[in-house]
Structure 1
């Protein structure tokens, strides 16, 4: 007789997977954890797999062999996020978000755990098979989004500073030109923050011309890191010629007129097309 009933095991397995996304867990772990036969553990996983996929809660990937196991990916398909992004689009179109000077207020969305978690899941979706080693962002507003990206992939978050911190030891610093205002700025990263040769995904909250992302790419070269891509919550339609081309965004800001209280923002095509 099993020590735990099946419904108890399934609830526990869901908890384990949700706390360890994108992590390969050997079937023996569940065998030992619950004190059950391997065949019973396999049946539990099969039941859970069907339920998770039925409700588009993600997917379970089973890898055979001695070094195999089960991995939970908390993203089923990008189309399942359409109702969410449509809701956020409507929030972003609210004219009260226009800040004098032609800026768009997004802090309430970026700092909402429920919203930013899904934004992070969307941004990592195209890179699930890229074996990303770390998520890299630059302080400050990109941090919550990047943290959720790191959480989804279960990899470290690396934060580039706008100035060096003596508490982080030796650092690498570069100057770069902001794409929109053409100002010379600097960014720094502690040497121990990122291992040489890492595969990284760059994340930020907003991109206009791409100067910041370009600067991040140049800084990654100092660490011999491979940039697999970049993702931002919002990119602008203009200028059309960005300083980077390997990027995705969740939303595209087509136009914003402060005098007329107009915000024209759309969902990116790659999400709509699924």
Structure 2
């Protein structure tokens, strides 16, 4: 399609935003817009400068016959603080308090806009690592995992408490819940993860980390690697933590069930992002 430059710039920007972490040959844009490669390169340079100025990502160029351009999403520190502060405020609502110190998260996880923002936050931390898949455990972690995976342009792998005939043969393991100390089971289809794959674990809530520890063990059964761990909320209740290296957006600092009071603070997101 032949467009004026203004229209071409808008379409090019939209296309890049919709195809993160995907290497796109310049020849594709040359044919798409019926324009010279030099014109496309000038457009990309302007978009790159604008993306970096706004803190929404960068555009990298890969040289060579198999090269092209790739959009890498990111989130500025100011925007990240704004999102995490919004989450913190929502989580401190006393109506969220559930027995055992857990929080009601369904409305947050069911909010598409907020979940997409969370996906951008996690993908920003792990954007420069090789990620082949995002793993989560059914069911509440699924929306978060898809939001992260869409930003990283990788598939989602869902771990379940039991095998399903529709998934073919599965690998099952037993693990000990960190909070209840009970032995539980999780299963994953054999076709889900390839050998040597780099898997990012995403979960909605981490108390002691038993479930995440189980997913780590499951990944090892596939002879794959854990690329990182991201959690929406981590609890700080004095229980022995079974997982050390993770990224959390928020931390449940204290819960007073008698007074119906919840204190939530910023997680280790900015500390972990600085390290990477």
TM-score (norm. length: structure 2): 0.94
Q: Does the aligned pair in 1 maintain the 2:233–2:249 contact within 8 Å?
A: yes
SS of 2:90's equivalent?
helix
Once the two structures are TM-superposed, the CA of residue 76 in structure 1 deviates from its matched residue by: 4.0
Gaps of 5+ in 2: none
In structure 1, how many angstroms separate the alpha carbons of the residues matched to 2:98 and 2:9? 48
The match for 2:32 is 33
Does 2:68 align with 1:66?
A: no
Once the two structures are TM-superposed, the CA of residue 208 in structure 1 deviates from its matched residue by: 0.6
The match for 1:88 is 87
The match for 1:139 is 138
1:52-131 matches, cutoff 5 A: 52-131=51-130
Residues 58, 249 of structure 1: CA spacing in aligned structure 2 closer, same or farther, 3 A cutoff?
same
Over the aligned positions, Cα root-mean-square deviation in angstroms equals 1.7
The match for 1:200 is 199
Q: Does the aligned pair in 1 maintain the 2:75–2:124 contact within 8 Å?
A: no
Residues 103, 120 of structure 1: CA spacing in aligned structure 2 closer, same or farther, 3 A cutoff?
same
1:250-261 matches, cutoff 5 A: 250-261=249-260
User: CA-to-partner distance for each residue in 1:196-228, whole Å, 9 max, x for gaps?
Assistant: 111100111000100000000001111001001
SS of 1:30's equivalent?
helix
Does 2:188 align with 1:184?
A: no
Once the two structures are TM-superposed, the CA of residue 124 in structure 1 deviates from its matched residue by: 2.6
Once the two structures are TM-superposed, the CA of residue 58 in structure 1 deviates from its matched residue by: 2.0
**How many residue pairs end up in the alignment?**
273
In structure 2, how many angstroms separate the alpha carbons of the residues matched to 1:182 and 1:16? 48
Q: Does the aligned pair in 2 maintain the 1:98–1:261 contact within 8 Å?
A: yes
SS of 1:192's equivalent?
coil
Gaps of 5+ in 1: none
In structure 2, how many angstroms separate the alpha carbons of the residues matched to 1:240 and 1:180? 7
Once the two structures are TM-superposed, the CA of residue 240 in structure 1 deviates from its matched residue by: 5.8
The match for 2:167 is 168
SS of 2:191's equivalent?
helix
Does 2:215 align with 1:216?
A: yes
The match for 2:43 is 44
In structure 2, how many angstroms separate the alpha carbons of the residues matched to 1:59 and 1:213? 31
The match for 1:263 is 262
Q: Does the aligned pair in 2 maintain the 1:160–1:189 contact within 8 Å?
A: yes
Segments ≥4 residues shifted beyond 3 Å: 76-79
TM-score (norm. length: structure 1): 0.95
Q: Does the aligned pair in 1 maintain the 2:74–2:123 contact within 8 Å?
A: no
User: CA-to-partner distance for each residue in 1:63-116, whole Å, 9 max, x for gaps?
Assistant: 233222111122143443111111121111111111244321111111111101
Report which stretch shifted further, 85-94 or 211-220: 85-94
The match for 1:17 is 16
